[in-house]
Amino acid sequence: MSEAVKKSRPEYRNIHFFKDLPRYRMPLASIVSFAHRVSGFILVLLLPVILYMLDLSLTSEVSFEALKGFFSGWFVKLLILVISWGYLQHFCSGIRHLIMDTHVGLDKDSARKSSVGVLAVSLFLTALVALKLLGAQTGFHVPHRFTEGYGIQQQALERARSEGYKLVISVDCGIRAHDPLYWARDNGLDVIITDHHLPDDEAGAPPAFAVLNPNQAGCSYPDKNLAGVGVAFKLVHALFRERGRESQVEAFLKVVAIGTVADVAKLTGENRTIVSLGLQDLAKASNPGLRALMEVAGCGDGKGMTAYDVGFRLGPRINAAGRMDAAKAVVELFDTRDRIEALRLAEHLDARNEERKLAQQQIFELAMTEFNSDSRDKLESYVAVIAGPKWHRGVIGIAASKIAERINRPCVVLSVEDGVAHGSARSIEAYHLLNGLTACSDLFDKFGGHSHAAGITLKEDRIDELRRRLNEHAATCLSEEDLEPSINVDLELRPESVTYQLAMALRALEPFGAGNPCPTFCTRGLRSLSEPQVIKERHLKLRLAGQQNRPLEAIWFNCIDSDGQTPDVKGSIELAYTIETNVWNDEIRMQLNVQDLRCS
């Protein structure tokens, strides 16, 4: 493991692992282990007596003087000293583990339904397997996206307490759950919050037993960009270090890497180290669930996988579980040890992902129709606020992201039902979305998120006011130039410079993603060698060449509109693209990923 991960230390607030020791249950496994050690110690003390009695059974000469003479021998004394010392250490170790198993009561963790939340639960399930062997009694709860909403709910805490749990660990949520956590504190239920979302500026951190969040006020942890799964990983790391199992921590990086990429966290600093190490380990994965997921997603044995593969193959299938009301299946997938069951669950997630794609496209088209048909002048709006009746709440976030990308403006998509609007918001690089929403906070029943992604709930009759005030706020922050679609090109290349050697050199800069984008190149004077091939009715596969006629394979994703109109690629082509490599039948191939093109 790299020094960046080895030396990292979580930022703790009020963590006292031995606090209120009697409040936690004494696990049965620990009691049995302790009794075993005590009995072994007693057996050592009785061993010389047993040996003497066996000797006397052969001679039939039993007397107190004979017994005294036997124990006075130097060999027996040395035997008692050596074996007793060994079992005394064993006995003390039993006491230590009994105490530690009593206070480390990891009992119930809850997560939001994004890919990160579910993956973080899976991370904890993996970690808790080891803790169960030491006596911890555990369970998990994944809140239902539609009936429970995001974050910690008091009802879930009440159920945990009624089932006898003493400690709840949140994953990727809870930083704004003040009311439920006040209830938990008043009712003797300890809660440890692991989250990376921004806290409320006025209310601050919630009243939890401990709060792990690098973005809370006063936290000196140097890396503020950890994903939710990364913060959860920090707690796992600390627990394993406390138990002398730190050498096993590296095995979790595969799952942490997937969650970090799927959350579109910035791949800089510690995230970059985590993802880099996790990608290297994917080929060594032994978890049947992860293996099955890679197989179903077309990732093969995991060799040569990149952050792109995680973000566009594994991530969407995991993410679709929560969006399509199947979040529990992800936890079951990572928890099962049966290969057949793992394959069944992976195929189940793959099917849910196909449903997600269909629902996402439908909502996107409905939202764009609503946006374009509205009487308001969209060219003058800074933020698109689009609402529709009973739109699928599991995919409105993706729809908002696609629309923001299409119109190059912040976008809020709302699903209205029974007078309540549930929404997801996405932003462009130049606009801090959470600041804008905070300026309208009095309109919301609930809201929270990041600088570029957020979730909100409000009454239907407040939508128009939200649209007006959010646009007013954005108008003070954005310029017309910010709203102009653009592609930032890093370097212009001649056609003959686009080579396999360059593609392999770029692999050294992996992992690419948010905060460390793949370099974008521009090449002029290209032409099409053949008619473009339509892939899955949405993409175009191109064969291009320059003056030297050396063919270049290119793919242009999602360039075909819903009406089936294919872009014109005739004449001289100016191409903006990234260079990628993919592995097929153990052969590495170069491919250009088209960002845009212009013909003349």
As separate numbers, helices (DSSP H) first and strands (DSSP E) second, the chain gives 19, 17
* Least confident residue range of 122-131, 156-165, 476-485, 559-568: 122-131
- Distance, in Å, from the CA atom of 568 to the CA atom of 528, rounded to the nearest integer, reads 11
Residue 203 has a pLDDT of 86
Lowest mean pLDDT, pick from 37-41, 300-304, 377-381, 511-515: 37-41
Burial of 43-55, coded b for 16+ CB within 10 Å and e otherwise, reads: ebeebbeeebeee
291 in any annotated domain: no
Q: What is the pLDDT of residue 216?
A: 93
Tokens of residue 414, six digits: 């709302």
- The predicted pLDDT at position 43 comes to 57
> Is residue 11 a part of any domain in this protein?
no
Contact between 184 and 160 under an 8 Å Cβ cutoff? The reply is no
pLDDT at 49: 57
Phi, psi (5° rounding) for residue 285? Answer: -55, 135
For 76-80, 235-239, 525-529, which range has the lowest pLDDT when averaged over its residues?
76-80
334 belongs to a structural domain = no
Judged against a pLDDT cut of 50, whether residue 41 lies above it is answered with yes
User: What mean pLDDT do residues 191-214 have?
Assistant: 91
CB contact at 8 A, 440 and 466:
yes
Residues 201 and 89 both lie in one domain = no
- 130, part of any domain: yes
Our count of domains for the chain comes to 4
- Is the model's pLDDT at 138 over the cut of 90? no
Q: How far is Cα 244 from Cα 134, in angstroms, rounded to an integer?
A: 12
Within-domain flag for 348 = no
DSSP string across 426-452: E--TT--HHHHHHTTGGGEEEEEE-SS
Which DSSP letter does residue 200 get? B
Same domain? For 118 and 241 the reply is yes
Statement to judge: residues 243 and 143 lie in one domain: yes
Both 396 and 500 in one domain: the answer is no
DSSP letter (8 states) at residue 202: T
Q: Give the pLDDT confidence of 325-366 residue by residue, as tens digits.
A: 667 788 889 889 999 999 999 999 999 999 988 998 899 988
- Whether 132 has a pLDDT exceeding 80, the answer reads no
pLDDT, residue 327, reads 73
Instruction: Please tell me the distance from the alpha carbon of residue 193 to that of residue 213, in angstroms, as a whole number.
Output: 8
- Final residue before a domain boundary, out of 58, 87, 102: 102
Q: How far is CA 54 from the centre of its chain?
A: 63
**68-107 confidence digits (pLDDT tens):** 555 556 555 565 565 655 555 554 544 444 333 333 333 3
Phi and psi (nearest 5°) for 388? -150, 155
Give the model's confidence band at 303: pLDDT under 50 very low, under 70 low, under 90 confident, else very high: confident
What tokens does 24 get?
A: 């936690």
Tell me, yes or no, whether 555 and 579 share the same domain.
yes
CATH code (residue 441):
3.10.310.30
pLDDT classification of 179: cutoffs 50, 70, 90: very high
Final residue in a domain of this structure, among 179, 214, 249: 249
Q: Which of 25-34, 50-59, 440-449 has the lowest mean pLDDT?
A: 25-34
Residue 405 resides in a domain? yes
Residue type, position 20, single letter: D
Q: What percent of the chain has pLDDT over 70?
A: 74
pLDDT-derived band at 427 (thresholds 50, 70, 90) equals very high
Q: Per-residue pLDDT averaged across 590-598, rounded?
A: 94
Q: Looking at the predicted structure, is the pLDDT value of residue 8 above 60?
A: no
Give every strand in the sheet of 411-417, ordered side by side.
Answer: 384-389, 411-417, 420-426, 453-459, 444-449
Model confidence band, residue 11 (pLDDT cutoffs 50, 70, 90):
very low
Same domain, 466 and 537: no
d(CA 65, CA 58): 17
Region 262-278: what's the mean pLDDT? 93
User: Are 462 and 524 part of one and the same domain?
Assistant: no
> Which range is least confidently modeled, 23-37, 282-296, 353-367, 437-451?
23-37
Residue 451 confidence (pLDDT)? 87
pLDDT 10s digits, 460-501: 999 999 999 999 999 999 998 898 888 999 999 999 999 999
Residue 516: which domain range?
491-599
What is the average per-residue pLDDT within 243-257?
Answer: 89
Say yes or no: 74 and 196 in one domain: no
Q: Is 105 exposed, middle or buried (0-12, 13-18, 19+ CB in 10 A)?
A: buried
Bridge partners of residue 535, in order along the sequence: 539
Nearest Cα to 523, choosing from 491, 554, 547? 491
- Counting Cβ atoms within 10 Å, is residue 64 exposed (0-12), middle (13-18) or buried (19+)? exposed
Residue 545 has pLDDT above 60, yes or no: yes
Least confident of 10-24, 58-72, 232-246, 509-523: 10-24
- Are 79 and 176 within one domain? no
The C-alpha atoms of residue 115 and residue 170 are separated, in whole angstroms, by: 15
Residues 188, 160 share a domain: yes
pLDDT at 542 over 80: yes
Ramachandran angles phi, psi of 200, nearest 5°? -70, 130
Lookup result for tokens 């959350």: 263
In a domain, 68, yes or no: yes
More confident residue, 189 or 3: 189
Confidence of residue 569 (pLDDT cuts 50, 70, 90): confident
Q: Flag whether pLDDT at 56 surpasses 60.
A: no
Terminal C-alpha separation, the chain: 52
Task: Please tell me the distance from the alpha carbon of residue 532 to that of residue 551, in angstroms, as a whole number.
Answer: 13
Q: Are residues 445 and 412 in the same domain?
A: yes
**What CA–CA distance (Å, rounded) separates 406 from 425?**
14
Of residues 228, 275, 261, the one with CA closest to residue 448: 228
Same domain, 413 and 529: no
Bigger pLDDT: 131 vs 535: 535
Coil, helix or strand at residue 235 = helix
Mean pLDDT computed over every residue of the chain: 80
- Is residue 63 one of the residues assigned to a domain? yes
Which CATH number fits the domain that encloses residue 588?
2.40.50.460
| Domain end call among 102, 121, 144 | 102
